[in-house]
Amino acid sequence: MLNKLLGSGSYESFDMRCMVTGQFAVGKSSLVKLLVGDNVPEERRPTDGISLVEGRCGLDIETRSWIMIDPATYNALDVVYNKVLMTSVEEDESKQTKTPGKHESDAKPVDSQNKEDNRSQKSEATKSTAFPVNLSSEPSTQPPAAQSLSPQMSSGESKKQQMKKKMTTKMTKKEIRKRMEKVLKSGKYKMKVGRLIFWDFGGQYVYYTTHQTFMTFRALFLVVFDGSKRLNEEVLDVLCFPGQHMTPTPAVFLLHWVNSILTYCKVVYAGIPKILFVATHKDKIPVEDVETRRALLYSDVEELFKDHEGRDHLVLDKQIFVNATDKADQEIEALKKAITELTFDHPCWGEKMPNAWVPLELEMAELVAAGKQILSLEEVEELNAISKVSVLDLGQLQDFLHFQHSLGKIIYFDTQQLRDYVIINPLLMVEVMRSFVTDKLFWPKKKRMQIIFRRMSDSGIICRGDLYNIWEQKNFQAILPYKEFLFNILIHLDILAEQRRYDTATGSRLPVENYFVPCMVTERNTTSFMENECTPVRAICLSFVFKGTVIPPALPNRLISACLSMWTLKQYEGRKLLFSGFIVVSFDKAHDIVVCVEGNKIILYIVHKTSAGLIVPDIATGVKECLVTTMERISDFYQSTIHVKRSQKLPFHIEYSCSELKCFISEEEILQTNDWVCDEHNLTHRAGNSAVWNQEKV
């Protein structure tokens, strides 16, 4: 269906998201400021969640030079207009003349009668350096009703008719042509400037479960690290990742970010996304030692990733080493050149988009500019239906929503609980997440809020009312009208998980009062449960083995959330068994389930009350398949698009343990042998012992 729309007219979209990641306190925000032409403040302040910088710079498509944009002239609507104006008018006209008898395409943004005007402006246009043209100086003709659409769903035919009367589109063909002609006449048409949008990711551990929501293969990633330190130096005053007992070092953080990016970005094109390493703090190295340090740093990076499966994604030949506090540092220009080359080599740079989508894009951009964050699906359908330029049918509208979601322009989940609303400003989700998933430095100062955040940090628990109270703060009041919808999104993303409770007398399920926030839990397991209960006599075990040495924390945290939503959290020695990278839940009165992170493995144990031999195979098989399906869903969740089906190899494989629960053999190997001898204990095991995990295959 997308190809059919493209055949009716298209434009080339030049957008690139530069996602700046890395350990905390390495100069990511300072680097972004230098890249967009801002001054770097002397006082360092950590990033709370994600900071997004757009409309500050772009790339000239023809000369590949960086164009700095005055923030006072930037308007989000201009982005849509100028992107469409990059379409070749001559090409559109030639397509039209090849199909005589066909009506002029309603989706065509620039009428062919402007062809001569365009040619007359060509020489003048190539001289221009100002971009974008500010089209927003005219008074907005957007009707007030469209600027303040009700967050509640319409009901009843009379209400629908009322909405139709209020939501009269201003994006008529005449209006689009009029505004675009203004750009043509200004001499900016042939400028062809693409957008660079910088996403500055906070480096504190607490954010690592929320960041991946915004990661995409349609981006270029910068992984920033402190070049004044060797990769094996200890990073002080920081917890390592769940299940990691190694000393936290810059190398551990580099591995984490590379593994996170490649886990959560679906590989649609070979070697994409690209990951560029950037070393900072050059100013801390004596000038005469800079080149020696540079060679040493990148030699260590090469060694760290020499056998990494994602090596073809890594850009290892640039060897950038900057002083991120000095605007005059020549290496900033070297970094810009590297970003330019990687941007122009990206297959999504210049991607064709249907002209038929433009009217709806413009309507949404207008609403965002007016402060609107969310539309009901019915309101989106109305905006589409009243268009006087191009109306999408229902199938095309769904394609539009799914594709715009994959581009990161909107957020739309096509599930039963969530499909009734569309978030037209994705930054709202950044605000939603940082409202409660935040570093202690950013906790609210009011005593009432401090109590809520302290309880959440200590126990990992928050109730619905407490979260709503957080959203009543001035900074988050835009969330309140949609609080139930956004709360359900947090459950859908496994950021929140229901705390299941049952009546001990009747066994019936009790209403949900509390929700777990696993990513806020930093305490390690110090109970004796594993030593006393999870023993070879009473337990069986398998592991999900991930590539690399560090599992992205978001994945086990989301898996733990999923377990909490399916089973009841177990208490032991008076403590709830929920810790960083560790959880125990009760399946029934005889079976407990343990999920914990150890190195590059997520290990699953099933513990029987009396004996491992009494574990019900159907239960073991069901739990295993449930967790496999959950991890497939988590791995595949973010980058679903309308033109890419699930074909990516999963980032883990399964291994089964020996009878001592220490040694492991891969699922592939066990299918090719009748028995195997474990290395550590020299015990012989029948391959059939794994049948308890695979009952349907017996």
pLDDT value for 153: 40
Q: What are the structural domain ranges in the chain?
A: 531-697
Cβ 189 vs Cβ 183: under 8 Å: yes
Q: Which residue has the higher pLDDT, 341 or 118?
A: 341
Strands 582-586 and 591-598 come out as: antiparallel
Using a 10 angstrom Cβ sphere, with 0-12 exposed, 13-18 middle and 19 or more buried, the burial of residue 626 is middle
Look at residue 552 and tell me whether its pLDDT is greater than 50: yes
A 10 A CB-CB count for 155 gives 9
Average pLDDT over residues 415-428: 90
Beta-sheet strands, E only, within 167-296:
193-201, 219-226, 275-280
Q: Is 393 helix (H, G, I), strand (E, B) or coil?
A: coil
Give the pLDDT confidence score for residue 173 in this predicted structure: 55
3-class DSSP state of 188: coil
Residue 334 has pLDDT above 90, yes or no: yes
Residue type at position 46? P
Of the candidates 111, 125, 136, the residue with the CA atom closest to the CA atom of residue 186: 125
Angle of CA points 374, 377, 379, to nearest 5°: 75
Residue 206 has pLDDT above 70, yes or no: no
pLDDT average, residue stretch 498-511: 62
499-527 b/e with 16+ CB inside 10 Å = b? bbeeeeeeeeeeeeebbbbbbbbeeebeb
Other C-beta atoms closer than 10 Å to the C-beta of 122 total 11
Average pLDDT over residues 147-166: 44
Lookup: tokens for 663: 């040694």
Q: Which pLDDT score, from 0 to 100, does residue 333 have?
A: 94
- CATH assignment of 531-697, given 3.30.310.200, 1.20.1250.20, 3.20.20.70, 2.40.50.140? 3.30.310.200
In the structure, what pLDDT confidence band is assigned to residue 507 with cuts at 50, 70 and 90? low
> Which secondary-structure segment (H or E) carries 317?
strand 314-321
Identify any residues that bridge with 315 across adjacent strands, giving them in sequence order: 276
pLDDT at residue number 118: 39
Sorted by sequence, the CB contacts under 8 Å of residue 22 that are 6+ apart come out as 28, 201, 203, 222, 223, 224, 225, 253, 254, 257
β-bridge pairing 275-280 and 219-226: parallel
Tokens of 60: 């000239």
Q: Rounded mean pLDDT of 317-344?
A: 94
The answer to whether 636 touches 393, Cβ cutoff 8 Å, is: no
H or E element: which one contains 97?
helix 89-97
Question: Which two tokens mark 93?
Answer: 């006209």
pLDDT at 551: 73
What pLDDT band is residue 265 in, cutting at 50, 70 and 90? confident
- Comparing 57-71, 312-326, 663-677, the range with the smallest average pLDDT is 663-677
- Distant-in-sequence, close-in-space partners of 30: CB < 8 Å, separation ≥ 6: 40, 280, 324, 325
- What pLDDT sits at residue 14? 87
395 within 8 A of 642, measured Cβ to Cβ: no
At residue 174, the pLDDT reads: 62
CA-to-CA distance for 111 and 84, rounded, in angstroms?
Answer: 12
What's the CA gap between 579 and 225, in Å, rounded? Answer: 29
Q: How confident is the model at residue 111 (pLDDT cuts 50, 70, 90)?
A: very low
DSSP 542-556: EEEEESSS---THHH
Q: Is the model more confident about 374 or about 665? A: 374
What is the rounded average pLDDT of the residues 541-559?
79
**Mean pLDDT, rounded, of the chain:** 76
SS3 666: strand
Distance between CA atoms of 26 and 297, rounded to whole angstroms? 15
Can you read off the two tokens belonging to residue 19?
């996602």
Confidence check: pLDDT of 146 > 60: no
Question: pLDDT above 70 covers what percent of the chain?
Answer: 71
User: How does residue 581 score in pLDDT terms, banded at 50, 70 and 90?
Assistant: confident
**Is the pLDDT reported for residue 291 higher than 90?**
yes
Share of the chain above pLDDT 90, in %: 28
pLDDT score, position 584: 95
Residue 275: pLDDT band (50, 70, 90) is very high
Neighbouring residues of 8: CB distance < 8 A, sequence distance ≥ 6: 105, 107, 354, 355, 356
Binned at pLDDT 50, 70 and 90, residue 80 comes out as low
Rounded to whole angstroms, what are the CA distances from 333 to 44, 65, 70, 542?
23, 11, 20, 50
Alpha helices (runs of H) in 245-284, residue ranges in sequence order: 250-264
Residue 233 has pLDDT above 80, yes or no: yes
Q: Greatest CA separation found in the chain? A: 88
pLDDT 10s digits, 477-496: 888 899 999 999 888 877 78
Q: Which of 617, 637, 636 is nearest to 625 (CA)?
A: 617
Stretch among 357-361, 416-420, 546-550 having the lowest mean pLDDT: 546-550
* Residue 208, pLDDT above cutoff 80: no
What average pLDDT score do residues 467-483 get? Answer: 89
Residue recorded with tokens 């967050």: 151
Is there a contact between 321 and 279 (Cβ–Cβ < 8 Å)? yes
> What are the tokens at 297?
């740093």
- Please give the average per-residue pLDDT across 366-385, as a whole number: 90
Q: What is the pLDDT of residue 11?
A: 77
The C-alpha atoms of residue 483 and residue 615 are separated, in whole angstroms, by: 43
Res. 536: pLDDT tops 70: yes
Q: What pLDDT is recorded for position 503?
A: 56
Q: What is the pLDDT of residues 293-316, one digit of tens each?
A: 999 999 999 999 998 888 999 999
Q: In b/e form, how buried is each residue of 599-616, taking b as 16+ CB within 10 angstroms?
A: bbbbbbbbbbeeebeebb
Percentage helix, strand, coil, to 5, in the chain?
A: 40, 20, 40
> Does position 344 have pLDDT exceeding 90, yes or no?
yes
What integer pLDDT is reported at residue 121 of this predicted model?
Answer: 36
Q: 687: which residues sit within 8 A by CB, 6+ positions away? A: 670, 671, 673, 674, 675, 676
Helix (H, G, I), strand (E, B) or coil at 246: coil
Q: What is the mean pLDDT of residues 537-544?
A: 94
H-helix or E-strand spanning residue 686: strand 684-686
The yes-or-no verdict on residue 511 having pLDDT over 90 is: no
Asked if the model's pLDDT at residue 218 lies above 70, the reply is yes
- Asked if residue 167 has pLDDT above 70, the reply is no
Mean pLDDT for 539-545 is 93
**Residue pair 29/179 in contact by the 8 Å Cβ criterion:** no
The pLDDT of residue 27: 83
For residue 489 the two structure tokens come to 């999104």
Give the residue-averaged pLDDT of 676-697: 74
**The token pair that represents 128 in the structure block:** 């221009």
pLDDT digits (tens, 9 = 90+) for 601-657: 899 999 999 999 999 999 999 999 999 988 887 766 544 433 344 445 677 889 998
- Name the β-bridge partners of 592: 586, 607
pLDDT at res. 188: 43
Helix (H, G, I), strand (E, B) or coil at 352: strand
Q: Cα separation of 614 and 607, whole Å?
A: 10
Give the separation between CA 415 and CA 417, rounded to whole angstroms.
6
Which of helix, strand or coil describes residue 267? coil
Q: What is the pLDDT of residue 39?
A: 80
Q: Is the pLDDT assigned to residue 116 strictly greater than 50?
A: no
Helix (H) or strand (E) holding 80: helix 76-84
Higher pLDDT, 316 or 456: 316
pLDDT confidence of residue 287: 94
Tell me the CA distances in angstroms from 370 to 76, 225, 364, 448, 650, one per residue in order. 11, 39, 10, 33, 42
